Amino acid sequence: MDTKNDSPAPPVTLLVLPGLMCDSRAFPGICENFAGAVVLDGFYGTARTIYEMASQVLGEVPGKLAVLGHSMGARVALELIRMAPERVARLALVDTGIHPVSVTEVTKRHALRDLGRAEGIERLVDAWLPPMIGRSHRADRALRAALYEMACSARQAGFERQIEALIARPDATTVLGGITCPTFVIVGSEDEWSPVAQHREIAERIDGAELRVVEGAGHMLPTEAPSLFHEAIREWLGWNPAAPADA
């Protein structure tokens, strides 16, 4: 009897992890264009640390994953690699960073927190959102209105939980050298919060990683330029880096 296992390989789920104050609305067309894609909704629930966010993901989405993390979501994606590397078949890090927390960052995040506490989440989002959008799209009223509504729906408590997680984030640099799955690093050319040079450094620290710069988009690349973003995702999902030549 032939005992060869001819079972097809288990499917890999495209899992999208949103960033600060973002949910599935930040990724228009993803589920329509990529069958079976899962975008984590709910602003990570009550999680207050990057570890808790990653634990939630691992518990909610089974099987092998092609993980795409945007901004804070990329920090969660790197924590998934740390916790369960066998679950991650592919990795895409989008508009993010690996730098440690600085005093300036803490001061800015707490200033936004205090503004929201004093004047409401709408005022907080008014101050936070404009620099997140690339120069080419800041005059797009429909885009800004959609992002504004999404961010406000995270509410003050959601914002505070997420910045608490970011301020206490683990060192991401310790993970990069051990990444072995096919990895793309993607950034908008107009991202002022997480600039291109920052992503070039990330790509250089991951063996075999590819850098893709999407022209004319800022930190909210997935919402600003969805068609170009989807092109980069298709390339990433179909990319099979050549195996190293035998010595």
Q: Using 50, 70 and 90 to split pLDDT, how confident is the model at 241?
A: confident
The Cα-based distances of 39 to 118, 124, 167 in angstroms read 32, 25, 24
Percent of residues, the chain, with pLDDT higher than 90: 92
DSSP run (H or E) holding 10: none
DSSP notation for 121-188: HHHHHHHHSGGGS-GGGTT-HHHHHHHHHHHHHTHHHHHHHHHHHHHT---SHHHHTT--S-EEEEEE
CB of 39 within 8 A of CB of 68?
no
Determine the pLDDT at residue 2: 39
Q: Is the pLDDT of residue 175 over 70?
A: yes
How deeply is 138 buried, as exposed, middle or buried, from its count of CB atoms within 10 A (0-12, 13-18, 19+)?
middle
Q: What is the side-by-side order of every strand in the sheet holding 88-94?
A: 38-39, 12-17, 64-70, 88-94, 183-188, 210-214
- Mean pLDDT for all residues in the chain: 94
Residue with tokens 């195996």: 243
Stretch 134-160: mean pLDDT, rounded? 97
Q: Is the pLDDT of residue 7 over 90?
A: no
Where do the domains of the chain lie, and which CATH numbers do they carry? 12-102+160-238 (3.40.50.1820)
How deeply is 56 buried, as exposed, middle or buried, from its count of CB atoms within 10 A (0-12, 13-18, 19+)?
middle
